[in-house]
């Protein structure tokens, strides 16, 4: 009795979606059928270029221009020929052509005087072809019945394709892919690296699915669901498969968009079918990727009860209704948790939120090792250096870098991947491939060289800047005409105010070098200005590093796992003051950059000339040349001689 009541409650909110689907399908099919029949009839009617309107036919008949007329009652058509031009020779080709050219028109049921007109007209020949019942039926079938049958066959085929069979032509069946981890090799936690905290959160889930009796004896229940949250490419789907692989249970995988269809109620029907299948195969895991497609917060301001909201309501109802002791566990993934409906995240539904964030230095090393298992590496490879150079990269980026490095090794004729191949792959993923066919003028090469050396020199002269790894003026496919690669000496999770201000000076040093040397500026500093402005605005509005606004938070982050865009939440007057403060910070940083470069003009010129000659130099080569020119270059602010004495 309770099960019947539950089913009535669940189905009641959907107003018999199967009946609604049937009506919608029939109405759609009828409209399409009428359109097809109308189009088919018009095509049949106008299939000949000699077709004329009936009114034109009557006009020519009354004017005595017709030569022969044939009425065909079976097809309701009139075939006629015209009298040739009297000026033409009867034996000429033009006369014979005009005489044999046939024209067509359709009979009009309103013209009851047609027969009398034909009998009184001056015609060479007039004949009536009586109707043939068989031919009439055949013409009706071809013109009307055949298009209708074809439309219904096509609709049936498409609905079966969409729904996978069953229901109203299968439209309400779940199309989740099932992976049987007991038969397939599957994925385990060994294949997931850099997400130790997330794996720990899922260990007891695996243990419960593998040994449910151990928990049920003391009354413990399996959590109904968990939400995997993190940026794209961090391994949320891989973690879900690993849970199923470790527990050796069936795994139903589908995306949130798979529930949503054109017909209202289809998504809800698919949710019911999915949970029915899951309970029949329990213990198992249901994985819904990109759940924000159906789990967005419900908003009554613009109306409701649409397909997505019905699907979400049914999902919430099913999550409340199934018995978790049977071993059905729901895993969902999203990179937009802020848009999800609160009812979906409350305890008893998606009980846990598991953060799958970008890996740290140790995690990146582990990810690189996992992806490098099947790649031949030589003795020069140091994955920790690669991990340091790829701060902020996710698992998919690192996998792509390993693959690009293997491709580079093959391209250069090597049988194993070297450290050089790996660094080249890092540059390819982050900056694009080298555009060796782009030839810049000598003046542009000098401008780009001074620009990049300006960045590198200011970085070396400031104790709070990161060391320079590489400088190049070879253009890249992502738009850069040159760049400076800075690699930190250790992983950082925080930046001090001094480090941020040093970044501002370094970002603007390229443009400062252009103005100092060439007494003009170019468009090459656009990206530098954009990044410097973003850092300065964050210092003022988020980090409390402004003397004018102090600790006041003036902005918030939206979509932190996607673009992470900062949105001001202050008055317009305050926003204008923020712009003035940011402008002042950038102005001071630019003046400091010009001051540093002016004081070390000799080093700037010599390093720029060396870069023009070599096109690409390493950080070590850069520092060796700088030490020969400048005595004060140590990262700790000491002279080289003092630093060497202390060491």
For 280, the domain range is 177-355
Say whether both 456 and 594 belong to one domain. yes
The 8-class DSSP code of residue 83 comes to P
User: Which sign does the torsion angle of CA 60, 64, 68, 70 carry?
Assistant: positive
49 or 360, greater pLDDT: 360
SS3 labels along 410-456 = HHCCCCCECHHHHHHHHHHHHHCCECCCCCCCHHHHHHHHHHHHHHH
- Predicted local distance difference test score (pLDDT) of residue 640: 44
Say whether both 500 and 576 belong to one domain. yes
The CATH number of residue 403's host domain is 1.10.8.60
**Residue 422 domain-assigned?**
yes
120 or 178, greater pLDDT: 120
The CATH number of residue 116's host domain is 3.30.720.210
Roughly how many angstroms between the first and final C-alpha of the chain, as a whole number? 84
Q: What order of strands is seen across the sheet that includes strand 102-106?
A: 102-106, 77-82, 66-72, 125-129
**Residue 31 domain-assigned?**
yes
What pairs with residue 340 in β-bridges?
A: 296
Nearest residue to 307 via CA among 258, 254, 274: 258
Residue 333 CB partners (closer than 8 Å, separation 6+):
227, 228, 229, 236, 237, 240, 287, 288, 289, 290, 291
Say whether both 459 and 589 belong to one domain. yes
Residue 105 CB partners (closer than 8 Å, separation 6+):
51, 52, 53, 54, 56, 57, 77, 78, 80
- Predicted local distance difference test score (pLDDT) of residue 158: 60
- Predicted local distance difference test score (pLDDT) of residue 431: 79
600 or 127, greater pLDDT: 600
Burial class of residue 573 (count of CB atoms within 10 Å of its CB; 0-12, 13-18, 19+): exposed
pLDDT band at 417 (very low <50, low <70, confident <90, very high): very high
SS3 502: helix
Nearest residue to 115 via CA among 127, 131, 102: 127
**Residue 170 domain-assigned?**
no
Gap between the Cα atoms of 476 and 470, Å rounded: 14
Gap between the Cα atoms of 425 and 434, Å rounded: 11
The CATH number of residue 640's host domain is 1.20.58.760
Gap between the Cα atoms of 468 and 619, Å rounded: 5
Would you say residue 410 has pLDDT above 90? yes
Task: Kindly give the pairing relationship between strand 565-568 and strand 616-618.
Answer: unpaired
Say whether both 213 and 106 belong to one domain. no
* Beta carbons of 471 and 456 less than 8 angstroms apart: yes
Average pLDDT rounded to a whole number, residues 162-180:
51
Please compute Rg for the chain using Cα positions: 39
- Predicted local distance difference test score (pLDDT) of residue 133: 55
What pairs with residue 69 in β-bridges?
A: 80, 126
Gap between the Cα atoms of 414 and 195, Å rounded: 33
**Residue 607 domain-assigned?**
yes
Say whether both 103 and 208 belong to one domain. no
Q: How far does CA 216 lie from the centroid of its chain?
A: 42
Largest pairwise CA distance in the chain: 128
Would you say residue 530 has pLDDT above 70? yes
Nearest residue to 126 via CA among 56, 50, 66, 58: 66
Reading the block at residue 515, the tokens are 């103005």
Gap between the Cα atoms of 501 and 270, Å rounded: 55
How big is the chain, counted in residues? 647
What are the pLDDT digits (tens) for 320-365? 876 666 678 889 999 888 888 888 888 888 888 889 988 888 889 9
Gap between the Cα atoms of 375 and 391, Å rounded: 22
Say whether both 84 and 150 belong to one domain. no
Gap between the Cα atoms of 241 and 186, Å rounded: 7
Say whether both 85 and 209 belong to one domain. no
pLDDT band at 294 (very low <50, low <70, confident <90, very high): confident
Query: Of 355, 378, 404, which marks where a domain is finished?
Result: 355
Gap between the Cα atoms of 143 and 44, Å rounded: 8
Nearest residue to 322 via CA among 224, 441, 252: 224
Average pLDDT rounded to a whole number, residues 268-284:
84
- Predicted local distance difference test score (pLDDT) of residue 523: 92
SS3 103: strand
Would you say residue 22 has pLDDT above 50? yes
Burial class of residue 484 (count of CB atoms within 10 Å of its CB; 0-12, 13-18, 19+): buried
**Phi-psi region at 544: left, alpha or beta (left = phi > 0; alpha = psi -120 to 50):** left
Which region among 242-251, 282-291, 539-548, 626-635 has the lowest average model confidence (pLDDT)?
626-635
The winner for highest mean pLDDT among 258-267, 448-457, 472-481 is 448-457
**Residue 169 domain-assigned?**
no
- Predicted local distance difference test score (pLDDT) of residue 180: 57
403: number of Cβ within 10 Å: 14
Which region among 216-220, 233-237, 337-341 has the lowest average model confidence (pLDDT)?
216-220
* Beta carbons of 408 and 425 less than 8 angstroms apart: yes
What are the pLDDT digits (tens) for 545-558? 998 898 888 988 88
HSE-CB at 173 with a 13 A cutoff on CA atoms is 14
Average pLDDT rounded to a whole number, residues 99-108:
80
Reading the block at residue 434, the tokens are 């080298």
The CATH number of residue 219's host domain is 3.40.50.300
Query: Of 376, 409, 431, which marks where a domain is finished?
Result: 431
Gap between the Cα atoms of 634 and 585, Å rounded: 26
Residue 547 CB partners (closer than 8 Å, separation 6+):
none
Helices and strands in the chain: count of H runs, count of E runs = 25, 15
Q: What percent of the chain has pLDDT over 70?
A: 78
**Residue 171 domain-assigned?**
no
SS3 128: strand
Would you say residue 646 has pLDDT above 60? no
Nearest residue to 139 via CA among 45, 74, 77, 79: 74
> Catalytic residue among 246, 261, 452, 581, which?
452
Q: How far is CA 92 from CA 38, 100, 125, 634, in A?
A: 43, 13, 22, 106
pLDDT band at 220 (very low <50, low <70, confident <90, very high): confident
Residue 183 CB partners (closer than 8 Å, separation 6+):
none
Which region among 119-133, 192-206, 398-412 has the lowest average model confidence (pLDDT)?
119-133
Would you say residue 647 has pLDDT above 50? no
Gap between the Cα atoms of 559 and 332, Å rounded: 18
Query: Of 396, 431, 466, which marks where a domain is finished?
Result: 431
Say whether both 514 and 383 belong to one domain. no
**Residue 197 domain-assigned?**
yes
Would you say residue 399 has pLDDT above 80? yes
Examine the residue annotation and report whether 452 is marked as an active-site residue of this protein: yes
* Beta carbons of 170 and 159 less than 8 angstroms apart: yes
Say whether both 410 and 453 belong to one domain. no
- Predicted local distance difference test score (pLDDT) of residue 641: 44
* Beta carbons of 14 and 129 less than 8 angstroms apart: no
Say whether both 345 and 388 belong to one domain. no
Reading the block at residue 557, the tokens are 């982050």
What pairs with residue 225 in β-bridges?
A: 330
- Predicted local distance difference test score (pLDDT) of residue 559: 78
**Residue 172 domain-assigned?**
no
Tally of domains in the chain: 5
Find tokens 């013209």 and name the residue.
111
What are the pLDDT digits (tens) for 429-446? 887 877 766 778 889 999
- Predicted local distance difference test score (pLDDT) of residue 272: 86
Which region among 44-48, 163-167, 252-256 has the lowest average model confidence (pLDDT)?
163-167
What's the chain's average pLDDT?
79
Would you say residue 10 has pLDDT above 80? no
- Predicted local distance difference test score (pLDDT) of residue 581: 94
Average pLDDT rounded to a whole number, residues 528-536:
95
Average pLDDT rounded to a whole number, residues 610-639:
77
28 or 249, greater pLDDT: 249
Say whether both 117 and 187 belong to one domain. no
Q: How far does CA 271 lie from the centroid of its chain?
A: 24
* Beta carbons of 19 and 267 less than 8 angstroms apart: no
Say whether both 454 and 547 belong to one domain. yes
What are the pLDDT digits (tens) for 560-616? 777 778 888 889 999 999 999 999 999 999 999 999 999 999 999 999 999 999 989
- Predicted local distance difference test score (pLDDT) of residue 578: 94
């Amino acid at each position: 009795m309770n099960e019947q009541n539950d089913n009535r409650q669940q189905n009641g909110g959907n107003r018999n979606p199967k009946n609604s689907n049937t009506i919608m399908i029939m109405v759609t099919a009828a409209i399409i059928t009428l359109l097809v029949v109308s189009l088919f009839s018009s095509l049949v009617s106008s299939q000949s270029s000699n077709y004329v309107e009936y009114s034109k036919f009557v006009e020519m008949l009354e004017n005595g221009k017709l030569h022969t007329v044939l009425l065909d009652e079976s097809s309701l058509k009139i075939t006629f020929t015209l009298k040739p031009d009297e000026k033409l020779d009867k034996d000429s080709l033009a006369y014979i052509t005009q005489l044999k050219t046939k024209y067509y028109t359709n009979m009009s049921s309103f013209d009851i005087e047609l027969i009398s007109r034909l009998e009184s007209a001056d015609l060479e020949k007039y004949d009536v072809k009586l109707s043939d019942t068989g031919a009439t039926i055949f013409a009706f079938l071809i013109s009307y019945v055949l298009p209708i049958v074809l439309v219904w066959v096509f609709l049936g085929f498409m609905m079966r394709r969409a729904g996978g069979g069953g229901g109203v032509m299968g439209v309400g069946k779940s199309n989740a892919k099932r992976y049987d981890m007991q038969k397939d090799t599957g994925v385990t936690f060994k294949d997931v690296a850099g997400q130790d905290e997330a794996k720990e959160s899922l260990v007891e889930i695996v243990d419960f699915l593998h040994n449910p009796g151990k928990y049920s004896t003391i009354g413990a229940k399996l959590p109904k669901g968990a939400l995997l949250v993190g940026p794209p490419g961090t391994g949320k789907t891989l973690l879900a498969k690993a849970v199923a692989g470790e527990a050796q249970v069936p795994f139903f995988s589908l995306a949130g968009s798979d529930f949503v269809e054109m017909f209202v109620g289809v998504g809800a029907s698919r949710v019911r079918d999915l949970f029915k299948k899951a309970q029949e195969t329990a213990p198992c895991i249901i994985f819904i990727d990109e759940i924000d497609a159906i789990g967005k917060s419900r908003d009554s301001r613009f109306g409701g009860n649409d397909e997505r909201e019905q699907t979400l309501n049914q999902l919430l109802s099913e999550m409340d209704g199934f018995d978790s002791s049977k071993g059905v566990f729901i895993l969902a993934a999203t990179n937009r948790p802020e848009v999800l409906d609160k009812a979906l995240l409350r305890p008893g539904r998606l009980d846990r939120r598991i953060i799958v964030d970008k890996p740290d230095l140790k995690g990146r090393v582990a990810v690189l090792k996992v992806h490098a298992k099947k790649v031949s590496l030589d003795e020069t490879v140091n994955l920790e250096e690669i991990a340091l150079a790829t701060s902020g990269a996710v698992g998919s980026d690192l996998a792509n870098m390993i693959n690009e490095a293997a491709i580079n090794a093959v391209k250069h004729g090597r049988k194993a991947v070297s450290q050089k191949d790996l660094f080249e792959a890092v540059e390819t993923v982050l900056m694009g491939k080298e555009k060796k066919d782009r030839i810049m003028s000598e003046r542009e090469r000098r401008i780009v060289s001074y620009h990049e050396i300006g960045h590198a020199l200011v970085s070396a002269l400031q104790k709070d800047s990161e060391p320079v790894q590489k400088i190049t003026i070879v253009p890249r496919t992502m738009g850069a005409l040159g760049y400076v690669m800075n690699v930190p000496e250790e992983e950082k999770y925080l930046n001090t105010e001094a480090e941020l201000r040093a970044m501002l000076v370094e970002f603007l040093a390229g443009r400062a070098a252009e103005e100092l040397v060439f007494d003009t500026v170019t468009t090459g500093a656009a990206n530098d200005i954009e990044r410097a402005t973003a850092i300065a605005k964050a210092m003022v509005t988020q980090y409390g590093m402004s003397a004018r606004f102090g600790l006041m938070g003036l902005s918030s982050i939206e979509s932190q796992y996607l673009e992470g865009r900062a949105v001001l939440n202050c008055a317009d007057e305050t926003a204008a003051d923020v712009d003035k403060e940011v402008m002042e910070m950038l102005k001071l940083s630019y003046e400091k950059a010009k001051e540093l470069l002016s004081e070390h003009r000799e080093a700037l010129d010599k390093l720029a000339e060396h870069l023009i000659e070599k096109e690409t130099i390493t950080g070590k080569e850069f520092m060796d040349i700088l030490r020969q020119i400048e005595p004060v270059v140590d990262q700790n602010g000491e002279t080289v001689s003092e630093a060497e004495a202390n060491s």
